[in-house]
């Protein structure tokens, strides 16, 4: 493992890539709750927006087969038009690669549908191209649990680092004394982080304390 990959994610060293969170792709997901994926990927997108992390949205065959980006996700970046592709592997689309290069970031945080195709393929290709890839496994989904787990194992063998969306959120915040993002982060946790968010709500309402 290279020294750079040991550095934690910061708002200044990473970019977020969200691939193919579209209705037709969700229809095929059986590895976990589709609603959980929606909650997690929207939470992840909002985290990136809070910390001003460059974010790339991409779809596959949006007009002919898979449908538009889900509205909950598009609403986070209402003015951003997703890059539409024909290729299963985003890395084989020149417009997508150009968008990645434009961010100037070498750490790529990626979530996609499906894990075994639209996450694994570009993640492995990006590793080959010299990037560090962090796969957000709970904001991604596959056609079966076996497919999801096998894809993660394949990516691990290639050097991809698995993370969860809350891990990314906390890694970007890092310190509860970071007041410029504290309120937005705790509000996001209350909206999307389940039991953890409930704990934040309790701490704020009963104890007046900071979550963590």
Domains of the chain, earliest start first = 3-174 (3.40.50.850), 175-212 (no CATH)
CA dihedral defined by 138, 144, 146, 150, rounded to 10 degrees? -60
Instruction: Give me the pLDDT at residue 209, please.
Output: 53
Calculate the alpha carbon distances from 167 to 26, 62, 82, 110, 171 in Å: 23, 30, 25, 13, 6
pLDDT digits (tens, 9 = 90+) for 106-124: 999 999 999 999 999 999 9
Instruction: Enumerate the active-site residues.
Output: 118
pLDDT digits (tens, 9 = 90+) for 48-73: 999 999 999 999 999 999 999 999 99
């Amino acid at each position: 493992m290279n020294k750079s990959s040991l550095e934690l994610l910061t708002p200044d060293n990473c970019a977020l890539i969200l691939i193919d969170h579209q209705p037709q792709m969700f229809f095929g997901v059986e590895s976990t709750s589709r609603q959980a994926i929606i909650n997690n990927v929207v939470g992840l997108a909002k985290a990136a927006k809070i910390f001003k992390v460059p974010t790339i949205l991409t779809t596959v065959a949006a007009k002919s087969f898979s449908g538009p980006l889900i509205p909950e996700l598009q609403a986070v970046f209402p003015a951003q038009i997703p890059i539409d592709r024909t290729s299963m592997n985003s890395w084989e689309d020149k417009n997508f690669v150009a968008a990645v290069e434009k961010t100037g970031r070498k750490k790529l945080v990626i979530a996609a549908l499906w894990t075994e195709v639209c996450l694994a393929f570009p993640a492995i290709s990006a590793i080959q191209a010299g990037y560090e890839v962090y796969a957000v496994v709970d904001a991604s989904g596959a056609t079966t649990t076996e497919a999801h787990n096998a894809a993660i194992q394949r990516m691990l063998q290639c050097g991809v680092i698995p993370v969860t969306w809350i891990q990314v959120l906390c890694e970007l915040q890092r310190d509860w004394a970071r007041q410029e993002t504290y309120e937005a982060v705790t509000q996001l946790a209350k909206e999307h982080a389940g039991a953890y968010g409930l704990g934040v709500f309790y701490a704020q309402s009963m104890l007046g304390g900071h979550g963590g």
